[in-house]
Every structure is written in structure tokens, then in C-alpha cells.
Amino acid sequence: MEKERSITEQANIWLSGNFDDETKKEVRNLMSTNPTELTDSFYRDLEFGTGGLRGIMGVGTNRMNKYTVGMATQGLANYLQMMFPGLNPIKMAISHDSRNNSKYFAQIVAEVLSANGFCVFLFDDLRPTPELSFAIRHLGCQSGVMVTASHNPKEYNGYKAYWDDGAQMIAPHDENVIKEVQKIISIDEVKWTGVPENIISIGSEIDKLYLDQIAALSLSPDIIRRQKNLRIVYTPLHGCGRKLVPDILARFGFENIHMVKEQAIADGNFPTVHSPNPEEHDALDMAIKLAQEIHADLVMATDPDADRVGIAVRNHKNEMILLNGNQTAALLFYYILNRWKGKGYLKGNEFIVSTIVTTRLLAEIAAAHGVEYFDCLTGFKFIADVIRQHEGTRKFIVGGEESYGYLIGDFVRDKDAISACAMIAETAAWMADKGKSLFDLLMEIYVQYGLFKEGLISVTRKGKSGAEEIQQMMVDFRNTPPLFINNSRVVKIKDYLSLVETVVATGQEKTIDLPKSNVLQFILEDGSIISVRPSGTEPKIKFYFGVREPLISLDDFERTEKHLDNKIASIIASMKLK
């Protein structure tokens, strides 16, 4: 009853406070007709996490709405005023994706910030996340906000908060912003009345500058001129990529681009897909169907805020098959480093970056080209942090992670599907100029470096007991780590919480030079890598598996791939994860 009274009290605050009439009507409706929804809407405050804000849209303290967005923005404004006390005005850039209410929330953010005396650069229409990152850097802003819930279902919205280098916030700023947001306990603390003269509309002029930078990345313009009719199918999945991806492909010189018309309409209901997530096979069904009809060479799909891209290529059986994020990264990294080397661009101080759960194939490709490889924690903000650390002393070429995010060049500091689409298409043209395909290139990479195969499973438990069970799993893995997994000896353990790497046989230890994170890695004698990473916000734990084996010839690909698939299944079984 105490919990029920608490929820009722919270709802009554919304009924008696300075909330608009429509909001109060919705609260009253929940109170009289839907107690379950009322509970979910008010049982807690929507959490402003290290990545920003994300939640289901609706009324209540645990929902994305005008008031939770405004309170979070006021907390962000307060922190920025603390960090830049002598700066007047503090500058912010704001963009939004195609989700329902995204434009409305972006306007709320702009009004609150302008009311705090900030100079706000507000995009005139939906724009991709990477363009916001570019705008922050180009306009000399101290921060930025992208209103998006990425690839979440249509019921969700959110926003990502950025720092002055165009990257999402990391420690200490992320945690300090959270503290300031938590201090805002009433909507009456928010400065709601926007100052129009403090809000500057931006749009096509930033588009041009951003696309100019991407166009300068091209390494094979002569090849594209010969392969300009490469058949490309593209779908923005009802999101932000619908204009800039076709524009940059045309700028690169591609003339045979086919958009999935039904998915080229910006629509926050995402009516043609179950989920607007390019990691999910179903999201590319319509694009692949079109590709089969027109005999396309390449399919690309971007998510609603156009920071991630999934692709499909034609295999040796003339089938369009989906590649995973690791495979696409391998193609991109190999092409870019190969061309940099061939053009004499490599001077010895270049580097690439990827995450600890992404394929080790990228490190092998870097080593073969004499380019330094850096590991970082999962999340693109950590890739951006590595770039920041080496700015001015080393040259960043390319970065990427297994979850379909890639970055070429350093004028953006978040994953960028616009530039990635252009460079993936250029890679396809490079191979077409040799009479080959992207699938051929992938096979050549596997023959040269070995066949790398990755797997991922998520183990979810329910409620408080589930969270405790997952916490105990990590304790057990640390206190009594396995000596063997799938009959292969564990030779090394990396604990990213204690930042200690241990050689099991000798007990020899060395320090891991990364921020702390609750992740464990087990490296096996046969080269397999198992990474264990619990969620920080829900009772879920992820297991990443990386296995490898030499590929003697293309004829041996299917047998070797099946063997590695079976090996991942055996590892999962030996760890009793299913």
C-alpha cells in the first residue's frame, strides 16, 4: 500500500502542479482506467544515464515527455554553466531524428537552453547524429543534444548529450551531469520561456560543409568513374539518412542508386518494419527483395538517426546475404588501409581503434599494414576518447565496433553511417573494377588472415532476484574462474574492473590501461576469446565469443565456417549458458 500511495502522491503532484491541461487529463485517465500503466509511469523518475535520456513516451515521471525532457535539459544547462563560468554565451547544437515527437522535444530543449541565456543552433529539420557531432565541432559549441532513441521500438524516444569535441560524454562529465539532473526535483525549477533571438536555425549550409568533408575521404575517384553504374539499393528505414546518403553517393560519383520508396518516408511509426534496426534481418527484407528484382550488387540500410549501417552482398551462389558488423568492419578497414598504403599515405604515426568485444581480425589487418591498433571499452564514446588522447600527435584513420558503427576520419566523433555508406560503396566499386565482389574480398581477407567468427548471446533474468543472480555470476567468474572452456585451457584472464591482466599458468600480472568497466575476458589456448559483460541498467548479461581458424582455400570456406559455428555452440554448452 505504501508503494501505491507513493505512486498516487506522484500522480497528484502532476494534477495540482503547473502542468498543462492535456497532461492532467491524461493522468486522470490513467488513474481511473489503467492502474498498471499509472504505476509504470510514476513508480520512478526516468533515469538520465551516462548516454543521456531514453524511455517510453507518455505522461509521468518515468516517461519521455515535455516535463522530463525540460528537467533533464535544465540540469544539463546548470552543469555547463558551472564548467564554462566565463563564457557568454555558451553555445549548443541540437538535432533530431524522425521519431514521433522528436521535433517537439528538440524545440523544448532549444527553448529551455535559450531561456538560460545559451546560444542555440537548432537544425531546421531532421538530421543524422553524425552531422550533429560535426556541427558541434564546426560551430565551436560547448555541448549538443541529439533527440533520438536510435533503433528502439516506436514507443521510445530519448536524447544523447555531447561534449565540446563532438563526442558523447564520458567521465567525469557524464556522471557529473547526472548529479545535476537529479537535483532538479520540480518543473518549477526549469526555465521554460524560450528566447527566440537566442535560437539560430541551421540546415543546408551545414549539410554542404559536412558532405564536403566526407567527399574528401574518397580514395578511388578514378575507379568510381569506371564503376559509376554499380547497382546500389539503399533504405533509410524511415529515418534521417533519406537525403544525405543518396546525396553523398551521388557526390562520390555513383549514378545507379535505388531507394526503397516505401521506407524513404520519414515516419516515427516505422510502418514497414518490426524494428528499425539494421542488425535485424527482417529490417532489410524489402531492400533485399528490390535488390533481387534489379540484380543489385550491394544493399545498405541505416537506422533512424543514421549512425549505424547494415549491408547485404551477393555471394558465390548469387544470393544476397547479410553481413554482420564485424564482417563489414573488416571490409572497410582492409580497403582503407590497403589504399592508404598503396598511395603512400602511411607515414608511421597512424592508428585505428576498435572495442574489446569486436573481432580481432581488425588488429591483424592493422598489423599487416604497419598501423597501430588501439583497444577501448564498448561504446563509441570510448573510440572518440582514444582519438582525443592522440590528437595532434598521431593520425586517426578509421574506427569501428561490432554493433554496426564505423567512423572514417576525425571531423566527426561518433559513429557515422553517412560516410560509412559512401566508403562501403567505394569498396564495392574497387572490387568491381577487378571483376570481383565484396563477398570475394571478404573471402580473400579470410584466406590471408584466417577465418574469424563471432557470436553473441544475452542471458536475461527477471526482477531483483535476477539482478542478484547476474551479479553473483560475475563474482563467481572472478573468484573461481574456469581453468578450461570447451576443453581448451584458459591461458589469460583480463579483468577490466580491477584493470589487471593475468597469465594463468604463472600468475604474472600487468595493468590494463583503460577506464574501469565490469567486463571479464577469457583467452583460451586455441585462440578463442570469451567476453562477459553485464548490463548496468537491467538484469541482463552478454557473452561475446570470438573463434578463428586458418582458411586454406575458398573451397574450404563452408566447412570451416560450420566448424567454427559448432565451436561457438560447444563453448556455450560447456559454459552451461543454454
Q: Which residues are catalytic?
A: 150
Q: For every residue of 433-495, which 3-state class applies, written as one string?
A: CCCCCHHHHHHHHHHHHCEEEEEEEEEECCHHHHHHHHHHHHHHHHHCCCCEECCEEEEEEEE
Contacts 24+ apart (CB under 8 A), 342-347: 343/219, 346/370, 346/371, 347/395
C-alpha grid cell, residue 518: 565490469
Q: How far is CA 226 from CA 218, 341, 376, in A?
A: 14, 22, 39
Helix spans in 458-515 (H): 463-479
Q: In what order do the strands lie in the sheet with 298-302?
A: 257-259, 232-235, 298-302, 309-314, 320-322
90 secondary structure, DSSP code: -
Kindly list the distances between the CA atom of residue 170 and the CA atoms of 83, 252, 382, in Å, as whole numbers in the listed order.
Answer: 15, 34, 8
Kindly report the CA angle at 488 between 482 and 490, in degrees rounded to 5? 45
CA distance 447 to 445: 6
Neighbours of 31 (CB within 10 A): 18
CA distances from 228 to 253, 310, 347, 423 (A): 6, 22, 31, 14
Peptide bond into 89 cis (omega under 30): yes
What 3-state DSSP class applies to 124?
A: coil
- Extract the C-alpha cell encoding 84: 564554462
Q: How remote is the C-alpha of 355 from its chain's centroid?
A: 12
Q: Residue 403: name the closest of 542, 520, 235 by CA.
A: 542
Instruction: Name beta bridge partners: 168.
Output: 162
Q: Give the integer Cα–Cα distance in Å for 309 and 416.
A: 9
CA angle 497–503–507, rounded 5-degree value: 95
172 cis-preceded (ω within 30 degrees of 0): yes
